[in-house]
Amino acid sequence: MSNHLKFFINGEWVEPVVPVALDVIDPSTEEPFTQIALGSKADVDKAVAAAKAAFPVFSRWTQSERLTLLKRILWEYEKRAEDIAQAVSREMGAPIAFARNSQVAAGHGHLSATITALETYKFTEDRGTTRIVKEPIGVVALITPWNWPLNQITCKVGPAIATGCTMVLKPSEIAPISGVIFAEVMEAAGVPKGVFNMVNGTGPDVGQVMAGHPDVDMVSFTGSTRAGIIVAKTAADTVKRVAQELGGKSANIILPDADLKQAVADGVTGCFGNSGQSCDAPTRMLVPRAWHEEALNVAREAAEKLVTGDPQAEGTDLGPVVSKVQFDKIQRLIEAGISEGATLVTGGPGRPENLNRGYYIRPTVFGNVNNNMTIAREEIFGPVLSILPYDGEEEAIEIANDTPYGLAAYVQGEPEHARKIAPYLRAGSVYLNYPDWDLFSSFGGYKQSGNGREYADWGIHDFLEIKSVVGYGN
């Protein structure tokens, strides 16, 4: 029987205190395919109380016991992999191959990396006669987005379990079914009552209540910078820790010694992956001015090769964006690019010609963009690439850093040259020559892209308090 209209609280699937249902929309058809329950303060209070009651015992579990639990969670996750992939494809429109090989795989990777990190993590160290102890921070509120649901759920739940924290998860109400399945995974893994709780709902009615709750010790939030500011302000009254992974407008600097065709083509693919719905997507491509026209031709060819369509069809590269709100926002920003004088290289307003319903965006490339244009300033969160010409690498660095965001930056060129550029870029991650994904790197941003870090041991750090026991060694 479906748990879509229930919450997972204190080890049980329960009805909401006040039943309110929300349609979950399939963005490829614009039609609802199921419903979820929306929570309220009363549901949050129940979930937080369960987490608070479970903390004294769970926080004393040994490192070995927590490792065993994480391995059981990973085992159950693997068993539900196809269910999760189908849910992600349906709720957010991800092509099914991408849902399996990237979305579900991301969750698997983070759980595995957390297990590896925990196996050797040191929770105590001695400095002279003082013992430094790293202890779980307490009850944590986990608020996750719709664009990479399993990536962000596992980035938060994994280290919370690893450190001995108890938690309440609020998945995005826009793409919530994968979160429900993840709660079923936690139940099947035998997570003790109250350690993991899940309440669905909106940001104002559940997320903000969690952030301001006096019995919540930390909030880990991933989402827009606008929402992150609200969470931080709400949490400030109770002086709790807030870790945030927020928006981005990442620059991709193509250096003169790069292979232009390869660098531009791969940059298009990187920008348009997940239908452009990634906070660290390389959305601003910076190319030497002398190469600008050639770069536009390469980008056009790469974009026009991508197949946009039915997420369940084999060979689909890009599905729809997640919602009408996102579709309308992206259309508005594409129109802004045209009206502000950028060169429309390919794509543009409206749906692709072969699609008359669904929130599909034409893969769009703009050239002759300057960094004052709206499309260079705002996070579009769709398959839209801006190509900006530059004169000299000092200007390229200046343009790259001229943004309120600082989540990621990319550099393509001879390795030694690319390495020399990296220290000047104000971003939490700098990727040189499109490297493989590293689950043991840190992930998080400078400036308005947030604070705190995720992935492996970096994520574990954020869920810990530091205690000094002075005189321990006397």
What are the DSSP calls for 146-208, one per residue?
SSSHHHHHHHHHHHHHHHT-EEEEE--SSS-HHHHHHHHHHHHTTPPTTTEEE----IIIIIH
* Pair 374, 412 in one domain: yes
* Pair 358, 285 in one domain: yes
* Pair 87, 59 in one domain: yes
Q: Over 60: is that where the pLDDT of 222 sits? A: yes
Question: 69, 161 in Cβ contact below 8 A?
Answer: yes
If pLDDT is split at 50, 70 and 90, which confidence band does 315 have?
very high
If pLDDT is split at 50, 70 and 90, which confidence band does 446 have?
very high
If pLDDT is split at 50, 70 and 90, which confidence band does 227 have?
very high
Token readout for 444 is 């998080």
pLDDT on residue 307:
97
The mean pLDDT value for 383-405 works out to 98
The mean pLDDT value for 82-98 works out to 98
Burial of 307 (0-12, 13-18, 19+ CB in 10 A): middle
Q: Say what percent of the chain tops pLDDT 70.
A: 100
Quick check: is 356 in a domain? yes
Q: Over 80: is that where the pLDDT of 185 sits? A: yes
Q: Look up the CATH number of the domain holding residue 210.
A: 3.40.605.10
pLDDT on residue 359:
98
Give Cβ neighbours of residue 411 (< 8 Å, ≥ 6 apart): 252, 253, 255, 418, 421, 422, 425, 430, 431, 432, 433
* Pair 236, 356 in one domain: no
If pLDDT is split at 50, 70 and 90, which confidence band does 305 have?
very high
Phi-psi region of 341 (alpha: psi -120 to 50; beta: other; left: phi over 0): left
Over residues 118-130, the pLDDT tens digits come to 999 999 999 999 9
CA 72 to the chain's CA centroid: 24
Over residues 382-391, the pLDDT tens digits come to 999 999 999 9
Question: 445, 102 in Cβ contact below 8 A?
Answer: no
* Pair 234, 340 in one domain: no
Question: 330, 381 in Cβ contact below 8 A?
Answer: yes
| H or E element, residue 364 | strand 364-367
Interatomic CA distance for residues 68 and 366, integer angstroms: 50
Amino acid at 233: K
Is there a catalytic annotation at residue 279? yes
If pLDDT is split at 50, 70 and 90, which confidence band does 1 have?
low
* Pair 103, 213 in one domain: yes
The number of domains in the chain is 2
3-state secondary structure of 139: strand
Q: Say what percent of the chain tops pLDDT 90.
A: 99
Question: Mean pLDDT of all residues in the chain?
Answer: 97
* Pair 187, 328 in one domain: no
Token readout for 402 is 């001229």
Token readout for 367 is 């050239």
Quick check: is 474 in a domain? no
Interatomic CA distance for residues 102 and 270, integer angstroms: 13
Quick check: is 2 in a domain? no
Quick check: is 1 in a domain? no
Catalytic residue among 245, 379, 393, 454: 245
Q: Over 60: is that where the pLDDT of 399 sits? A: yes
Over residues 114-161, the pLDDT tens digits come to 999 999 999 999 999 999 999 999 999 999 999 999 999 999 999 999
Quick check: is 325 in a domain? yes
* Pair 371, 434 in one domain: yes
Q: Look up the CATH number of the domain holding residue 272.
A: 3.40.309.10
pLDDT on residue 166:
98
Amino acid at 453: R
pLDDT on residue 241:
97
Can you give the residue range of the structural domain that contains 189? 7-246+449-469
Token readout for 84 is 């999760």
* Pair 255, 208 in one domain: no
Write out the DSSP string of 264-315: HHHHHHHHHGGGG--TT---EEEEEGGGHHHHHHHHHHHHHH--B--TTSTT
Quick check: is 374 in a domain? yes
* Pair 107, 169 in one domain: yes
* Pair 114, 193 in one domain: yes
Interatomic CA distance for residues 224 and 63, integer angstroms: 34
* Pair 305, 424 in one domain: yes
Catalytic residue among 279, 379, 393, 454: 279
The mean pLDDT value for 303-325 works out to 97
Q: Nearest-CA neighbor of 108 among 147, 68, 158, 65?
A: 158
